[in-house]
Structure 1
Amino acid sequence: MLHRRFFSTGSAVAENYYKITLKRSTIGTPSDFRAATKTLGLFRLHQTTYRPVNATNAGLILKLKELVNVEIVDRIPDKSELAAKKPPKGYTVVGNKL
């Protein structure tokens, strides 16, 4: 009978993520390219998703290397951090030239 051993370390292991952004359209590409973008969770231009670093995701990124931008990040930002990077909505009047 096989016994499985689980090894745990005392320190937390930092996991890395791919930050994947679709920069080019999939119009006119083969159907396997479009399926790969959907597998990565990319549906619109300039959409960004975060995927863990593993061989499966690396293979999909390699297939789409002309269509996506990829960065390796330490963690996935939460919604408040993403909202802080956006400029405020609307406009402000700086001065009056009348």
Structure 2
Amino acid sequence: MSAVSRIITAIRPTLTASTRAYSTAVSSEAAPAAAGHYKVTRTRSLIGVPKSTIKVLKSLGLGRKIGRPVFQPHEASAAGKILKVKELVKVENIPGPIPAEGFQRTRATKGYKVVGKL
């Protein structure tokens, strides 16, 4: 038995044990709360895009207008959806809570204002 193989056999049990301990610790604990958000903005048209991709965009909240940002929490499901439509969107990482711009009114004004009742 060479010196290298003796070192490998000596190290291998500790590597596999630490890897197993890490994988079970991650799976047994509850997932931590989302530390931040993705700011996802649609930048491309949906003309010629497959229906499955359109459904993913709508599930992200991007079905209506180009340029309107949507905030998604840092989760695996949101990251997978973003990867599916990465060619059609722009993504920014926002640490912490959603900024005030995420809660602004997104619709245009009606064009008139109700002053009072008759």
Normalising by structure 1, report the TM-score: 0.64
| Corresponding position of 2:100 | 78
Cα RMSD over matched residues?
2.6
Alignment partner of 1:21: what SS? strand
| Corresponding position of 2:57 | 37
Segments of 4+ in structure 1 off by > 6 A?
none
Identity fraction in percent = 39
How many corresponding residue pairs? 73
| Corresponding position of 1:53 | 74
Alignment partner of 2:93: what SS? strand
Deviations 1:17-75 (A, max 9, x none): 00000000111100011101100001211110000011101111000010000011022
Runs of 5+ consecutive residues of structure 1 not aligned to the other structure: 1-6, 8-12, 84-98
One of 46, 59, 62 as aligned partner of 2:83: 62
Distance 2:90 2:34 in 1: 23
Distance 2:84 2:65 in 1: 18
Normalising by structure 2, report the TM-score: 0.54
Distance 1:67 1:18 in 2: 15
| Corresponding position of 1:94 | none
| Corresponding position of 2:41 | 21
User: 1 or 2 for the larger relative contact order (CA 8 Å, sep ≥6)?
Assistant: 1
